[in-house]
């Protein structure tokens, strides 16, 4: 709690460290004992003769760009001290790769030297594998992110940070001016007026209007529970990104007129009094799998329509699209209750039926559980995508989230989903 008022001060300090004004084009090393110092290339190489694997950055006059000690002229001769030259050197590949976490070099091949791994990184992976069963693929992904987390520079073989990365450090309104859902990684392919649609998109012929429809999927995940905690644990950025705090609305009984779905039978039940959150609901873009701004919310019991309505329309607020299509496994029941629930939503969540039309379908995996009569209108035969696959990227965090405070859980989910969206 004491840290929250210092948001702006810490964000300003982070940005201050990222700039050098009119300084010359010289390198710096973020890993050395004086990470802010700018040194000439000769001094940088002299300091790093025994530290050849540090990541080096060069100030260009506008930003720090990543480079390497090799790019500055450093060479490493295995089997010789840094000050001693080898009389008969054997040159490695020009694309030599080092997988490291400090200390001894372990070559991955003998004749054509192209890569190696440090003993320490092998030992650390072994311990992580034994304790958490992490796969070598996920461990290698982590090392790639440590090397370059932008995804723009390929690695061969190949809540301040959220504010900073979203550009709010340079926003005149500062941290306090951060609007709801503004720290998300948005889908670059979904239709968005004034972003990726032609200026006259609203005048598109009726037979081509589907090109500019928003296609979204709703689902819930009951793995992501959270136990009751007495401690006060506010989120540091709740509502800034993906998480939306649910405001309790009036709850009406959910009676199914279709098949006997457990999701409806147990919508108002809570299996344990020790849980303050029984799961989460989410909305994503169906075709591309990216989570929506303010598209996550807690479930206090089962899959209640009031929760799903709140998550759905908090995510859609501000959209200018003319038609929204929803994929929901119980859409046939949800849509019949929607007109009763809409008036209880906040004014900013309301939609104008004269401006936006709402339609929906049932995903194929769930379609067979419904009654065959009257469900042809909800058939999904040609639309690709779905939300279920997104849960696989976040379910491994379920056990740790049970023990978190609610605010910490919200911040963690925001962080994980930013990575998944990216």
- Residues in contact with 387: Cβ distance below 8 Å, sequence separation at least 6, in sequence order: 217, 218, 219, 282, 283, 284, 286, 289, 327
* All structural domains of the chain with their residue ranges: 19-85, 91-158, 180-421
**Residues listed for the chain:** 422
- Tokens of residue 145, six digits: 């992110």
Q: Are strands 357-361 and 323-327 parallel, antiparallel or unpaired?
A: parallel
- The whole-angstrom separation of Cα 69 and Cα 58 is 11
pLDDT at 134: 75
Query: Residue 344: helix, strand or coil by DSSP?
Result: helix
Nearest to 299 by CA among 231, 251, 344, 240: 251
- Residues in contact with 413: Cβ distance below 8 Å, sequence separation at least 6, in sequence order: 224, 242, 243, 280, 296, 394, 401
- The whole-angstrom separation of Cα 288 and Cα 260 is 31
Q: Which residue has the tokens 């990470």?
A: 35
Nearest to 314 by CA among 352, 348, 356, 279: 348
Q: In what order do the strands lie in the sheet with 214-221?
A: 291-299, 279-285, 214-221, 323-327, 357-361
Q: Which helix or strand (DSSP H or E) is residue 331 part of? A: helix 331-341
Instruction: Judge contact between 80 and 86, C-beta under 8 A.
Output: yes
CA 379 from centroid of its chain's CA atoms: 31
State the 10-residue block means of pLDDT for the chain, 422 residues long.
73 76 77 72 84 82 82 80 78 70 52 65 73 76 74 52 76 80 83 86 82 86 80 70 67 55 56 79 86 85 82 84 83 77 81 77 65 60 56 78 78 80 80
- Residues in contact with 47: Cβ distance below 8 Å, sequence separation at least 6, in sequence order: 29, 32, 39
Query: Residue 107: helix, strand or coil by DSSP?
Result: strand
Q: Can you spell out the DSSP letters for 257-286?
A: SSS--HHHHTTT--S-TTEEE-EEEEEEET
| Residues of the chain by 3-state class (helix, strand, coil), percent to 5 | 35, 15, 50
Report residue 328: phi and psi, to 5°. Answer: -150, 135
pLDDT at 156: 44
Instruction: Judge contact between 78 and 105, C-beta under 8 A.
Output: yes
Q: Can you spell out the DSSP letters for 12-76?
A: HHHHHHT--TT--S-EE-TTSSSTT----HHHHHHHTTT-TT--EEEE-SSSEEEE-HHHHT---
Tell me, yes or no, if the pTM score tops 0.75: no
- Residues in contact with 59: Cβ distance below 8 Å, sequence separation at least 6, in sequence order: 20, 23, 24, 25, 26, 27, 28, 38
Q: Which residue has the tokens 């929803």?
A: 326
- The whole-angstrom separation of Cα 137 and Cα 155 is 14
């Amino acid at each position: 709690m004491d840290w929250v008022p210092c948001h702006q001060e810490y964000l300003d300090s982070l940005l201050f460290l990222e700039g050098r004004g009119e300084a010359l084009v010289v390198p710096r090393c973020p890993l050395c004992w004086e990470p802010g110092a700018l040194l000439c290339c000769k001094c940088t190489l002299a300091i790093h003769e025994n530290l050849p694997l540090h990541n080096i950055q060069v100030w260009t006059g506008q930003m720090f760009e990543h480079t390497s000690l090799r790019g500055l002229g450093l060479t490493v001769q295995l089997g010789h001290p840094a000050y001693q030259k080898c009389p008969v050197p054997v040159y490695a590949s020009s694309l030599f790769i080092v997988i490291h976490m400090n200390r001894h070099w372990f070559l991955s091949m003998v004749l054509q030297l192209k890569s190696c791994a440090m003993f320490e990184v092998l030992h650390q992976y072994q311990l992580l594998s034994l304790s958490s069963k992490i796969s070598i693929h996920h461990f290698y992904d982590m090392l790639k992110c440590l090397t370059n987390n932008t995804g723009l520079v390929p690695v061969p073989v190949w809540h301040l940070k959220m504010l900073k990365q979203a550009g709010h450090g340079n926003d005149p309104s500062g941290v306090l001016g951060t609007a709801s859902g503004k720290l998300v990684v948005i889908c670059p392919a979904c239709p968005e007026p004034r972003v990726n649609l032609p200026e006259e998109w609203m005048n598109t012929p009726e037979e081509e209007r589907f090109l500019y429809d928003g296609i979204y999927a709703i689902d819930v995940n009951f793995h992501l529970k959270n136990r009751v905690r007495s401690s006060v644990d506010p989120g540091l950025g709740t509502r800034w990104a993906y998480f939306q705090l649910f405001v309790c609305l009036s709850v009406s009984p959910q009676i199914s007129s279709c098949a006997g779905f457990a999701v409806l039978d147990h919508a108002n039940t809570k299996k344990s009094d020790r849980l303050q959150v029984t799961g989460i609901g989410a909305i994503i873009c169906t075709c591309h799998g990216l989570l929506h701004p303010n598209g996550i919310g807690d479930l206090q019991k089962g899959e209640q329509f009031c929760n799903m309505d709140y998550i759905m329309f908090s995510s859609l607020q501000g959209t200018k699209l003319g038609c929204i299509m929803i994929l929901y496994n119980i859409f046939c029941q949800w849509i019949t209750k929607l007109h009763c629930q809409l008036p209880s939503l906040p004014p900013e969540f309301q939609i104008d039926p004269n401006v936006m039309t709402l339609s929906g379908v049932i995903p194929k995996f769930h379609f067979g559980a419904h009654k065959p009569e009257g469900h042809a209108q909800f058939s999904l035969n040609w639309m690709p995508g779905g939300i279920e696959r997104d849960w696989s990227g976040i379910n491994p965090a379920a056990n740790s989230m049970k023990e978190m405070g609610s605010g910490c859980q919200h911040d963690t989910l925001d962080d994980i989903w930013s990575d998944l969206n990216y």
